[in-house]
Homo-oligomer: A and B are copies of this chain.
Amino acid sequence: MKVEYLNPFIAATRNVLSTMARLDSTPGKPYLKNGRSTFGDVTGVIGMASETVAGNLVISFRKSCILAVVAKMFMEEPRAEIDDEVMDAVGEITNIICGGAKAGLAKLGLAFDLATPTMIKGRDIMIRYPVDSPIVVIPFATDAGEFVIEANLAERR
């Protein structure tokens, strides 16, 4: 995955969390994913596909972080657990971030359609992608805790 492809994902992530949940998020230094386990307690995965590129965007939240995000999105008290509505919110966030990144990536000549997101509950769940696509992880810090986005968008060979 080319480094220049990261910026649209970072910009879309910060923008979506800022507008949907009024939450500032600070990106850390990107690194290549080592191992295959989920970082957070709830994870959204969305596929990006066209004839020329393929990959996934993953966003994985620590429990404290997603519960704060959802409370702010819905203007309610934080929930105690990751329930179905929280998982649906993760799907919506995943979808909107990737949709936002898509516009930025189009300017770099990358066009693709988005699949529907999949949401997975549980930390350290083993998730694996085809081995030939290195996965770049971008950690984010917020006042409510950590989350990461992971992306492995690559041109098809």
Contacts and interface: CB of A to CB of B under 8 A. Distances in A.
B54 A128 contact: no
Contacts of A152: 116
Interface string A110-154: 001111111111100111111101000000000000000000100
A115 B115 contact: yes
Interface of A: 45-51, 54-56, 84, 87-88, 91, 95, 112-122, 125-131, 133, 152
The 4 residue pairs across chains A and B that have the minimum distance between CB atoms = A47-B115, A47-B47, A121-B126, A49-B113
A93 to B, nearest CB: 12
Counting chain B CB atoms within 10 Å of each CB, which of A51, A118, A133 scores highest?
A118
A51 B114 CA distance: 9
